[in-house]
A = this chain, B = another copy of it.
Amino acid sequence: MEKINIQEKFSLFDETWTPKIIAESNGQLVKIAKGEGKLVWHSHENEDELFIVFKGKLTLLLRDGAVTLHPGELFVVKKGLEHCPVAEEETHFMMIEPASTAHTGAVVSEQTVSVDNQTHI
């Protein structure tokens, strides 16, 4: 494989809450996404979801509070934990999760991008 420049990959798309796959490792996909506004409440029953923020500010609302991630901060949403991502400004972040992970868990909304429709860039 080739090395991947993460910023360069962010420059390739504008959609928000639309994960793009940039690498695979041990059956897990490395995805990047832009966020602005609010996604939906959901959980992943069988998968942990690792977040790293590169630009902006990503708040993960949790049922018992919230975590706000700035650039260079990392958080793991453990399997089963309900969360709702919110970004007040344009935010760039990475997710690392098993290939099986559904975008918005068992919840299907207009924002949901099925695993089959998540493109490699």
Contact = CB atoms under 8 A, between A and B. Distances in A.
Interface of A: 1, 3-7, 22-26, 28, 30, 47-50, 52, 67-69, 72-76, 78, 96-98
Contacts of A5: 72-73
A49 B75 CA distance: 20
Contacts of A1: 75-76, 78
A3 B50 contact: no
Interface residue SS majority, chain A: strand
Given A1-B78, A3-B67, A26-B28, 11 more contacts: A1-B75, A3-B68, A3-B69, A3-B74, A4-B73, A5-B73, A22-B74, A24-B76, A25-B49, A30-B74, A96-B96
8 contacts: A3-B67, A3-B68, A4-B73, A4-B75, A7-B72, A23-B74, A25-B76, A26-B48
Copies of the chain in the assembly: 2
Contacts of A67: 3
Given A3-B74, A74-B3, A74-B30, A50 B69 contact: no
A7 B23 CA distance: 23
The 9 closest A-B pairs by CB, nearest first: A25-B48, A25-B50, A4-B74, A3-B75, A25-B76, A26-B48, A6-B72, A3-B67, A3-B73
